[in-house]
A = this chain, B = another copy of it.
């Protein structure tokens, strides 16, 4: 089974890290295809960056469909472009944010999210409401580490995130933690051990959901909300994206 993992930002080093995290948990027989668009922001931090990551993301989803992948994963915690990707694809599409929320909701009474910058909190809260899982989330917290600083030892990212988890346990009575960025995928196991509660990473969670949908042959419903885009003219630089209907 082939699974497409799209990092919607354009930082190849991050794509590699995400691909490695995905492969580390993939079943025997699962091939992870980790890609990123050529065009768009080097990191996604807030609503504006999201916009310019989606056309490139959809181009990658289209290629994945052509390859016949069993499922697509959007490896940005804001689940950028999720509904549009579902409209384009017949295979299921999974956001790493929703994957982590669904997983964490089955492991404890309530979870807290620890993300990068506070400007991302609104989008995450809105997603939780859309998915119905807002009441399962005690609080969305920001560590104030920018995405591309996560791997910079000088950022002290791991300690900052760990301190925020402590606060989530003490103040929110969180019983599980969701790591709110694809770039934190490598921290989950260590933080679970350290804090004694489940710390959930979305990349790994999404891979297991994708394999699940693939094995069960479940596809995106195409009857209405995610129906194939209608045949239509797109003008100018987006002409090549125009749906064939």
Give me the interface of A with B, judged by CB distance under 8 Å: 10, 25, 27-29, 37-43, 45-52, 54-56, 58, 81, 83-84, 86-88, 92, 94, 98, 102-103, 105-109, 118-119, 121-123, 125-126, 129-136, 146, 169, 173, 175-176, 188-189, 192, 196-198, 200-201, 204-205, 208-209, 211-213, 215-221, 223-227, 229-230, 232-238, 241-243
A197 to B42, CA, bound (A): 30
**CB atoms of A107 and B42 under 8 A apart:** no
**CB atoms of A217 and B234 under 8 A apart:** no
A88 to B146, CA, bound (A): 19
Closest A-B pairs by Cβ, 3 of them: A208-B212, A39-B236, A108-B221
Q: Chain B residues with Cβ under 8 A from A38's Cβ? A: 235-236
A81 to B50, CA, bound (A): 10
A133 to B106, CA, bound (A): 13
A196 to B54, CA, bound (A): 28
**CB atoms of B54 and A51 under 8 A apart:** yes
| Other contacts beyond A28-B29, A46-B230, A175-B224: 15, CB < 8 A | A28-B28, A37-B236, A40-B236, A41-B232, A47-B87, A51-B54, A52-B238, A108-B226, A109-B121, A109-B221, A121-B173, A192-B217, A208-B209, A211-B211, A211-B212
Partner of A237 from B39, B135, B197, B200 at Cβ < 8 Å: B39
Partner of A107 from B130, B132, B221 at Cβ < 8 Å: B221
Q: Chain B residues with Cβ under 8 A from A50's Cβ? A: 84
Report the minimum CB–CB distance from A175 to chain B (whole Å). 4
Q: 26 A–B contact pairs at CB < 8 A?
A: A10-B236, A27-B27, A37-B236, A39-B237, A40-B236, A41-B234, A43-B232, A45-B230, A47-B87, A49-B229, A52-B234, A54-B54, A56-B236, A92-B107, A102-B105, A103-B209, A107-B213, A118-B173, A122-B224, A123-B225, A132-B132, A132-B133, A192-B218, A196-B223, A198-B218, A211-B212
Report the minimum CB–CB distance from A221 to chain B (whole Å). 3
**CB atoms of B47 and A86 under 8 A apart:** yes
Partner of A175 from B28, B197, B217, B226 at Cβ < 8 Å: B226
**CB atoms of B51 and A227 under 8 A apart:** no
**CB atoms of B106 and A243 under 8 A apart:** no
